[in-house]
Amino acid sequence: MNWDSYRYFLAVAETGSLSAAARNLSVSQPTVGRHIAELEERVGTRLFNRASHGYSLTAAGSLILQKTQLIAGEIASVDRQIAGLDQDYSGNVCISATEGFGAYWLTSRLAGLSFQYPQIQFDLLLDVEVIDTRKREADIAIRLSNPKESELVGRRVSKVGFGLYGADPYFQKFGRPHTISELERHRFIDWHFQERGFILSRALNKYLDQYQVAFRTDTVAAQIEATRQGVGLMLAPHYMIPQESGIHRVLAEEVSETVDLWVLTHKDLRHTNRIRTVIDYLVSAMKADSYVLEHG
């Protein structure tokens, strides 16, 4: 058995495409394709159905996936246990967070921590989608809402508040909404992750069954700039809106939401000194900024 080939198989099975698997593994797409072809030749059957929209598992592939996930879980467990034995205050700490929280709050706090512990190196992974700490894709995860995964431990630290924002160029062209019912005729800036139930899109759906999307992106900086230019209204965390940006909150009393902010790690890493140090620092900073995070 060549585990390397099964590692490529697992990446394609979980992402559904060669290109996505290649990005996750930091290799070229042809490399992934070659490993899949070699594995199928070795086992003597097709493991994937190829289609224009991606790769799906055959019956044989589904059977192999179950076994491969068990093996991958055991390997990841060994990695975590070894990392948990490291009681040094040096080394790498990988933190996962959403792009907005990472860019507008977390980065400046990690800069301060790096001065206190220059021997710790930080990797900050920012994405709308959640990184899997169980696979050691990240050591610490900062998430909006509790993931309720049995292997993760952590705490609810604070709340993040968000509301509806717009800019003067938009108000001049489309008017400023004064009631919830008026929102039906307005334009909005949204996320590509709406169909996956992303938290801000879900909140907007709470007020409107259907709403007109004028601009959609998964980059916070682009959303804020589109709001500033008057493209549409944006539902956003209060801490993300820069002061003196020309962006103003609307319907503050009517549209006001909060979600829990969690700091988590894998249970095998919780006693590692550098992980514990970073978590304690972040929890303390979040508690100190709890009012800003919730109210702006």
- Looking at the structure, do residues 106 and 240 belong to the same domain, yes or no? no
Axis crossing angle, helix 29-43 with helix 3-15, rounded to the nearest 10 = 110
189, β-bridge pairs: 215, 234
Domain count within the chain: 3
Statement to judge: residues 251 and 263 lie in one domain: no
Same domain, 152 and 164: no
Within 95-210, where are the H helices?
Answer: 99-101, 107-116, 168-174, 199-207
| CATH at 132 | 3.40.190.10
- CATH number, domain with residue 177: 3.40.190.290
Is 267 found in the same domain as 208?
no
Q: Quick one: 165 and 146 in the same domain?
A: no
Both 200 and 140 in one domain: the answer is: no
Instruction: Decide: pTM greater than 0.85.
Output: no
What is the CATH classification number for the domain harbouring 57? 1.10.10.10
Same domain for 120 and 233, yes or no, is no
pLDDT, position 174: 95
Same domain, 174 and 252: yes
Residues 186 and 232 in one domain: yes
pLDDT at 126: 85
Q: What is the pLDDT of residue 128?
A: 57
- pLDDT at 245 (0 to 100): 76
Residue 254 and residue 165 share a domain: yes
Using the 3D structure, point to which of 84, 107, 124 is the last residue of a domain.
84
Q: What share of the chain is helix, strand, coil (3-state, %, to 5)?
A: 50, 25, 25
pLDDT at residue number 169: 96
Instruction: Encode the chain (296 residues) as per-residue pLDDT tens digits.
Output: 567 778 888 889 888 889 888 888 888 999 998 998 988 888 888 989 988 778 999 988 888 888 888 877 766 666 666 555 455 667 889 999 988 899 889 999 999 888 888 888 999 988 755 444 444 578 899 988 766 666 788 889 999 998 999 999 999 999 999 999 899 899 999 887 554 446 667 777 777 777 788 998 878 889 999 999 999 999 889 988 876 678 999 999 998 889 899 999 888 787 788 888 899 999 999 999 999 899 87
Regarding whether 263 and 253 lie in a shared domain, the answer is no
pLDDT at 117: 86
In the chain, the DSSP E strands lie at 48-51, 54-57, 91-97, 120-126, 140-144, 152-167, 187-190, 212-216, 233-237, 247-250, 256-266
Residue-number span of the structural domain to which 274 is assigned: 91-158+259-295
